[in-house]
Structure 1
Amino acid sequence: MKRIQVPLLAVDGGGTKCLAAMVATDRRILGTGRAGSCNYQGIGTTAAARELTNAIRTAMATTAAEGTPSTEEADASPSTEGRVWEVECAVFGMAGLDTEYDRQVIVEMVKEVLAQLKIHVHHLIVENDGFAALLGATDGDAGILVIAGTGSIAYGINGQGITARAGGWGHRVGDEGSGYWIGKQMITAVLKAADGRGEPTRLTDRLLRYLGLSQVEELYNWTYGPSYSVEKVGELSPLVSQTAAEGDVVAARILTLAAEELAQAARAVIQQLSMHEQPFKMILQGGVLQNDQQVRRLVVENVRHFTPQVVVDTAKHDPISGVIAKGISYLNKREKAESDRGVEK
């Protein structure tokens, strides 16, 4: 039986795409594979496992035996009978891993995929994909990563390598300050204005035009109809930014509240990690924080008021780099431990 040995399998299993890479000990990429979302919370376990399998299978197909590129090996199916892959360490950064129940579901799914592909892993690490993004963004240094796209969450790592998170509880009960949250606040503001419970706002006309509606009553039907989705509501966020830029008080207030929520998540992480009296990096990612300058500015001002030594920085590497760094760290520690045992003998 032919055995193919690879030091590291790294997987960034995000909510949008899944990227897998076979990696050598010197961080050289031997092969990669890409597939769609593998967040089981969004698409179900079966579909998530399928995308995860596709990404890893492609990475295997583009990786030659013993890590040496070869057209013959790339064209062959890597999981055929008589061929087994030996991977020293596999690190998975997976979207949807928020609770211990999620961990059980995802770890079981990962193990089933590895078994199906005939990959024997000696050491398996499964983490939330956000921590992988954090490690990639800060390049391993102490820092905070605040993400506000369709959803929102804050991650942090201190100088001792301890990590923490705040937010990220999903659109039903959390994701404050996210694109979805801002869009939902827009809908609420329009309905309140129609009732006379809220101030008149230009958001009403802008929202109705965007959705192709003629009156507010139709907005109610749209909200509870089949067209409503988290993604569609998240797309409303730029409309609030545009309206705020025109001087609309209601729209500006929504953005201010969004910034306060995101800054509060960042402060919570900073407090958990006891970082408020030391310099560290803060990276802001996601469509809201990258495209809405008012929200971005207010988040930075709010956090700086709490901890003046924060330095706003840009991400150093993609999330997959953080996954790889985690695996290489394990391999280096294992090598050192084996070396130390050899010296003792």
Structure 2
Amino acid sequence: MSLFLGIDAGGSATRCVVGDEHRILGRAQTSSCKIQRVGEAEARRALHAVIREACQSAGVAPGGIEQACIGISGASHPEVVERVRHIMGEVISAPVEVLGDIIIALEAGLGPLAGCMVIAGTGSIAVGRNQQGTLARAGGWGPVASDEGSGYWIGRAAVAAILRAHDSGESTALARAIMATWRLASYEDFERAASASPPPDFAQLFPTVLHEAEQGDPIAIDVLQRAGAELAELALVVIRRLWPGPQRVRVTICGGVLENSSRTRRAFASKLRSACPQSAISFGNIEPVTGALSLARKHAAISEHSAAGVTKKR
């Protein structure tokens, strides 16, 4: 039995699965290991912990892993790839394929098929692949200039809406809830925190906004619905580029925002179907980490085939 390991290194969490050729044998989850965000020391701690815990859950030794694959943002930068491989190599001896988080999500959501995927977690992006294999993307340029509809965008939009409401003399439940989340005692503290440099981690406010929307707060509801519309716009950019004519387009979703907010999903589906009636939206639960595991298996198979070819030539 061959053993493979896949990791989804998200902005909020790190997920790891261990499997054989057909099954998932164990899994684990810990905090983010995104080096650019948490630093190398915390990334090392998180990666080591999640790999060991997933292997323990599977009942296998880390040294028994044959091939690993990790999806992480920043994989286009050689220094990120080198550092991630080095850190993982301290725990496992297997080759490590370091890919973009978009690639593992596409593998999990679409496999070899054509379609569009919208990812909305801490950040956001839409990516698609048509029948000719052409790729296109929209968004995903980071929280300062992009990441529309993401957890970060939602938190920042909620804070902006609260400030606007305060200027109009309104007091909202959402403001009080965010002050409690940030552990602030006064509105003056809220103003200072909202405009701090560097800025706060607005993505951490998504659960608070979600809870207050469920309690009926109109500002929270509006922000979540606007997030859905923003994500639909990203999908439409990709669809119009890859499928300019009236064709049926498969659309899948993943990420904590769309998975956890029914209001965001409904707003997303309403806008997308209105502008692109031929879209076929799937709200099934997609785990990018399973895409990393699938790609680890495929890479091992390619390596084995290549090695067999070399042996035959000799």
Superposition TM-score, scaled by structure 2 size: 0.77
Distance of aligned partners of 1:57 and 1:106 in 2 relative to their CA distance in 1, 3 Å threshold: farther
Distance of aligned partners of 1:240 and 1:159 in 2 relative to their CA distance in 1, 3 Å threshold: farther
Deviations 1:37-90 (A, max 9, x none): 211122112211222123334455667xxxxx7xxxx5xx756xxxxx673x43
Query: d(CA) in 1 for partners of 2:256 and 2:92?
Result: 39
Query: d(CA) in 2 for partners of 1:149 and 1:288?
Result: 5
Verify the 8 A CA contact 2:127 2:136 in the aligned structure 1.
yes
Aligned match of 1:136: 108
Structure 1 residue 119 corresponds to structure 2 residue 89: no
Superposed, which structure 2 residues align to 1:227-246 within 5 Å?
Answer: 228-238=200-210, 241=213
Verify the 8 A CA contact 1:148 1:178 in the aligned structure 2.
yes
Unmatched segments (≥5 aa) in structure 1: 64-68, 80-84
Verify the 8 A CA contact 2:151 2:202 in the aligned structure 1.
no
Query: d(CA) in 2 for partners of 1:190 and 1:35?
Result: 32
Q: Percent identity?
A: 29
Alpha-carbon offset, residue 340 of structure 1: 7.4
Verify the 8 A CA contact 1:149 1:179 in the aligned structure 2.
yes
Query: d(CA) in 2 for partners of 1:343 and 1:255?
Result: 59
Distance of aligned partners of 1:325 and 1:287 in 2 relative to their CA distance in 1, 3 Å threshold: closer
Aligned match of 1:82: none
Q: Point out the more displaced range, 230-239 or 176-185.
A: 230-239
Unmatched segments (≥5 aa) in structure 2: none
Superposed, which structure 2 residues align to 1:4-15 within 5 Å?
Answer: 6=2, 8-15=4-11
What is the aligned counterpart of 2:228 among 255, 259, 262? Answer: 259
Structure 1 residue 104 corresponds to structure 2 residue 78: yes
Structure 1 residue 93 corresponds to structure 2 residue 48: no
Query: d(CA) in 2 for partners of 1:288 and 1:78?
Result: 33
Q: Secondary structure at the match of 2:172?
A: helix
Query: d(CA) in 1 for partners of 2:134 and 2:112?
Result: 11
The one-letter amino acid paired with 2:137 is R
Aligned residues: 309
The one-letter amino acid paired with 2:85 is K
Deviations 1:131-160 (A, max 9, x none): 323322334432322233443222333334
Distance of aligned partners of 1:340 and 1:12 in 2 relative to their CA distance in 1, 3 Å threshold: same
Q: Secondary structure at the match of 2:234?
A: helix
What is the aligned counterpart of 2:34 among 39, 48, 72? Answer: 39
Aligned match of 1:271: 240
Structure 1 residue 50 corresponds to structure 2 residue 50: no
Deviations 1:261-288 (A, max 9, x none): 2112112222343376432322233444
Aligned match of 1:304: 273
Alpha-carbon offset, residue 231 of structure 1: 3.8
Query: d(CA) in 1 for partners of 2:92 and 2:152?
Result: 40
Structure 1 residue 146 corresponds to structure 2 residue 118: yes
Alpha-carbon offset, residue 161 of structure 1: 4.5
What is the aligned counterpart of 1:221 among 185, 192, 195? Answer: 192
Verify the 8 A CA contact 1:149 1:286 in the aligned structure 2.
yes
Query: d(CA) in 1 for partners of 2:85 and 2:237?
Result: 34
Distance of aligned partners of 1:276 and 1:154 in 2 relative to their CA distance in 1, 3 Å threshold: farther
